[in-house]
Structure 1
Amino acid sequence: MKNLMKKLGGIAIAISVISCSQDNGNKSVGAQSIATIAKATPEMDSLVVALDLTNLTSTFETQGDYTVFAPTNDAFSSFLSGLGEPSLAQLEEDYPGYLANILKYHVLTTRVLSTSLTNNQEITTLQGQNFKVMIEDNTDPSTYYFYNNILTLTNPDSSSSYFAATVLARDVNCSNGTLNPIDSVMLPVTE
């Protein structure tokens, strides 16, 4: 639990420092793109590599209005370990297009704030499949000061834990959408 709290704190601090700029003493949130904030956040190095490998980086550097649920480095590490792949580059080489499909499953084509999500809501991703939002009360006093509820994203067509992720930080405002770090790589259902 202590390591999780350190990571949450580190992610929050890194993102807030990068996403805020000083203008006459006032903080201006959202001056940087999703890609720029991901590149400047150490816990998102693997996401940056994945975006580069799939030629999606430019999508998140330019104008748009996206919501990105961004897996952390630990999430990508667990994902690769579960597949028996040594790296994201090897995964892309072994299964061309699979990584891009997975990344697109983490993206919404509009800016959606966590406060507008409802329990059991299904949301369509850029990849085309839906995921479901689960909202539970936060009963852990050691994390309650972050959020009073827990947001979990699941695939409505599977009960496997490989299809679920918990949102670690919410609604990081970027110039082209919002960024929400998550603790797992979510997998779309394959036919």
Structure 2
Amino acid sequence: MNRRFALKTAAAFGLVGLVAACDPMAGGNDIVDIASSNADFSTLVAAVSAAGLVDTLKGDGPFTVFAPTNDAFAALPAGTVESLLEPENRDQLVAILTYHVIPGAVTSDQLAGATLDVATVQGGTVKVDGTDGVMVNDATVTTADITASNGVIHVIDKVLLP
């Protein structure tokens, strides 16, 4: 009886280990947690919060987020970010932020060598060019494949505008 219990327990642990190995996004920090822990994304985190999208981006997903850095936001015309963060401009802010998100977890190796038009959560499309690095519209992916529990983050050097 004890030997049968031990074999069943070992088989169950082996199955759990196999499932965990096949799901690299199980557990860990979600997209918002990762962005919040990186000072280079403080403007993005403030914008996501002002837009009321924190709970969405902490959700199950999976999502692929093209995440502009603080420098990318700073390159926008003077006063743009401050204006977008005002409550009366929330709809415009939501549209811009959701334009940076595509459904599913898409890694750079899936984009390598391809040129695609990809639908965003906002409803528009972005042109992704993976033929020489990865470009999204006119933004360059500077850091790819930051794995979160609910998707993937690709750092970009420009803010995408719908």
TM-score normalised by the chain length of structure 2 = 0.77
Overall identity of the aligned pairs, in %: 36
Gaps of 5+ in 2: 1-23
Bigger Rg over Cα: 2
Deviation at 1:101, TM superposition (A): 0.3
Amino acid at match of 1:177: G
CA displacement 1:88-107 (0-9 Å, x = unmatched): 3x323263311110000000
> After alignment, is 47-56 or 110-119 more displaced?
110-119
Task: Find the counterpart in structure 1 of residue 127 from structure 2.
Answer: 132
Is the 2:31–2:58 contact (alpha carbons within 8 Å) kept by the matching residues of 1? yes
Superposition CA RMSD, Å? 1.9
Give the Cα separation in 2 of the matches to 1:126 and 1:179: 15
Is the 1:124–1:131 contact (alpha carbons within 8 Å) kept by the matching residues of 2? yes
Deviation at 1:187, TM superposition (A): 0.5
Aligned pairs, how many? 136
Q: Where does structure 1 differ by over 2 angstroms across 4 or more consecutive aligned residues?
A: 90-96
Gaps of 5+ in 1: 1-28, 138-149, 155-163
Task: Find the counterpart in structure 2 of residue 37 from structure 1.
Answer: 34
Is the 1:33–1:61 contact (alpha carbons within 8 Å) kept by the matching residues of 2? yes
Task: Find the counterpart in structure 1 of residue 141 from structure 2.
Answer: 167
Deviation at 1:111, TM superposition (A): 0.8
Q: Would you tell me which structure has more helix in proportion to its own residues? A: 2
Task: Find the counterpart in structure 2 of residue 179 from structure 1.
Answer: 153
Deviation at 1:86, TM superposition (A): 6.0
Give the Cα separation in 2 of the matches to 1:123 and 1:136: 15
TM-score normalised by the chain length of structure 1 = 0.66
Q: Secondary structure at the match of 2:49?
A: helix
